[in-house]
Structure 1
Amino acid sequence: MMIRKLPFAAALLGAVLFTGAAMAQSMIEEVKERGVIRVGVKNDAPYLGFTDDKGQLDGFEIDLAKDIAKRLGVKIEFEPVKASNRVQLLQQKRIDLIIATVSHYRNRDKVVDFTIPYLYTPQTLLVKKGSGIKTVADLEGKRVGLDAGSGSVKKLPLVQPKVTIQTYQNWPEAFFALQRGLVDAVATDNILLAGLRAAAPNPEEFELLGKAGFYGGGFYAAAVREDDSKSRDAINFLLQDQWRDGTWMTLFNKWLGSESKLKMTLADFGDFTVPDWDD
């Protein structure tokens, strides 16, 4: 009798598993039901995501995230993340979305789903004035400070094999090492370096290299959990809406452009525009 019941039991179990899978909620559905979206952000990236003098998180990415929550009609909770733990926190469902200077690389796309980009950032060098470092070629035999979780840890030695990499817990620590003379340069996205220099007591002592110092570049994008196309598309549409109605440009000028200390232009970001699709 037990043998004759096995096919039915197996079919019943399969139906239950199928129903459970079909009923699995997307992140967007969970967020709307909860009424809160939990966003992983940086708290150590000046002008992008940082802690201000009042102890509050602020910056370009912070405001982008706030606007996304507003458009979704939910509250927002921020979770400060590091380059080394942000993906794990997303996979563990401790956060719903990452907006934290994440460049869209193929190896990262294997474990999370990326939205369309919201910024392009060339990668370059920050050095002390008078260092003699003008190009990546000049890094031969030099020490470069990097965030331990940065993609530049692997990328920079590919373009300059004779460089010595020294890693730190975050970008401010790497910049502090440059200030102390423990490294000869800091290498990463130009906007991160511009923010570190602008926040320093003596920014005039440091030089941010332009095109001669470029060794790569990447698109910042938001990240959601793997295989959640419904949530990825929902965030994509909101990013496009921010661009279409001028919100993106308002926030860009506030934090990075004409109204900010950085006075950067879209040309500094490869004349970036948000990819758009027809309705």
Structure 2
Amino acid sequence: MKMLKSTVGALALTAVTATTGIAQDDVQNNRFVEVMERGVLRVGVQGAFRPWAFRSPDGDLQGIEVDLAQTVADRMGVELETVQISSANRMEFLQQGKVDLLIGAMSDRPDRRKVVGIVEPAYWTSGPTLMAKEGVISSWDDIAGKPVCGKQGVFYNKIAEVEFKANVVAFGGNTEAKEALRSGKCVAWVYDDTSIAADLASGDWEGYEMPVETVFSNPWGAAVPLEEKDGIWGAFMSGMAYKWHEEGTLIELEEKWGVKPSPWLAGMHEKLQYDDSYLEN
């Protein structure tokens, strides 16, 4: 079995190096080969971020990013092992080799590009906003000097604190932060507009609203180990990200998981369509 996996890995390496132009001698110890020989792809995903990655009633991880991870495993012909990560430890898990790949709702920022290899193109985009009881908040200025719930490790907290002078109370997970909002410990919860929109659409947050616009649009990127960003593993994952857009995978997952259609995703899908009009001439 080990010899078979090694042979499969070698054949896959030859095929991918032929299509990427990366020298085979440069990638003998590449993560792509390791995954092929292991027969298992370990992907770090969030565990309480509905509908991107969260636990089903039977305890399995499910959601948009789990489905994306499955497309990578399927394309490689290996099994998928999802590993629950958090915003605070996800890059550390990748650096330490606990996962091969991150698809964990991670925004693409310059400081993170120094730590992990963020793949282009981005596969999603979002922005910071607030969820609050109806009528409590009408503008970002309304949170100045007031307690606002946040999740540990999320840089939106700093925006709320520095730009809007809020007193952010950070919790270990989204569930704890939102329950603190329900109990009145905070006037609002600061987080991604995508996640808050999904919560409001779930029917579990009657009487709450998303009262302010996002401050900016923030791309999300999958990530490989930093040293492999420009190697075969990074090139392969970049190709996967392009395919997610080109083939409409992300738009299909929006519909499957009940996420409001994103103009950005629709635009990326249209932009990356193959132009075969010249064949008619």
Q: Does 1:166 align with 2:161?
A: no
Supply the AA of the counterpart residue of 1:218. Answer: N
Question: Structure 1 pair 199/169, CA: closer, same or farther in 2 (3 Å)?
Answer: farther
Please give the per-residue CA displacement for 1:127-168, whole angstroms capped at 9, x wherever unaligned. 11121x1221111122111111101122222321x2101000
Question: Structure 1 pair 74/270, CA: closer, same or farther in 2 (3 Å)?
Answer: closer
Question: Structure 1 pair 206/130, CA: closer, same or farther in 2 (3 Å)?
Answer: same
Please give the per-residue CA displacement for 1:87-110, whole angstroms capped at 9, x wherever unaligned. 111100010011111001111111
- Deviation, 1:278, is 8.3
Q: Does 1:183 align with 2:178?
A: no
- Deviation, 1:247, is 2.3
Structure 1 segments unaligned to the other structure (5+ residues): 1-20
1-structure distance, mates of 2:186, 2:203: 17
1-structure distance, mates of 2:272, 2:226: 23
1-structure distance, mates of 2:26, 2:124: 35
Question: Structure 1 pair 213/249, CA: closer, same or farther in 2 (3 Å)?
Answer: closer
8 A Cα contact 1:156 1:215, kept in partner: no
Please give the per-residue CA displacement for 1:27-70, whole angstroms capped at 9, x wherever unaligned. 11211121111000011001110011222211111111111110
Supply the AA of the counterpart residue of 2:216. Answer: G
2-structure distance, mates of 1:237, 1:95: 20
Aligned match of 2:261 in 256, 265, 270? 265
Partner residue, 2:56: 52
Partner residue, 1:3: none
8 A Cα contact 2:251 2:261, kept in partner: no
Question: Structure 1 pair 272/82, CA: closer, same or farther in 2 (3 Å)?
Answer: farther
2-structure distance, mates of 1:145, 1:265: 27
Partner residue, 1:146: 150
Structure 2 segments unaligned to the other structure (5+ residues): 1-24, 276-281
2-structure distance, mates of 1:244, 1:213: 29
1-structure distance, mates of 2:148, 2:27: 49
Please give the per-residue CA displacement for 1:209-237, whole angstroms capped at 9, x wherever unaligned. 3xx43223311110111121221111110
- Deviation, 1:248, is 2.4
Supply the AA of the counterpart residue of 1:238. Answer: M
1-structure distance, mates of 2:162, 2:267: 26
Supply the AA of the counterpart residue of 1:178. Answer: L
Runs of 4+ in 1 over 6 A off after TM superposition: none
Helix, strand or coil at the partner of 2:87: coil
- Deviation, 1:246, is 2.6
Partner residue, 2:128: 123
User: Root-mean-square deviation (CA), in Å?
Assistant: 2.2
Q: Tell which structure's C-alpha radius of gyration is larger.
A: 1
2-structure distance, mates of 1:173, 1:190: 18
- Deviation, 1:118, is 0.4
8 A Cα contact 1:123 1:190, kept in partner: yes
Partner residue, 2:236: 234
What TM-score results when the alignment is normalised by the length of structure 2?
0.81
2-structure distance, mates of 1:89, 1:64: 19
Aligned match of 1:61 in 61, 65, 69? 65
What TM-score results when the alignment is normalised by the length of structure 1?
0.82
Aligned length: 247
Identity, % of aligned pairs? 28
Question: Which protein has greater RCO, CA pairs closer than 8 Å, 6+ apart?
Answer: 1
Supply the AA of the counterpart residue of 1:138. Answer: D
Helix, strand or coil at the partner of 2:123: strand
1-structure distance, mates of 2:254, 2:133: 27
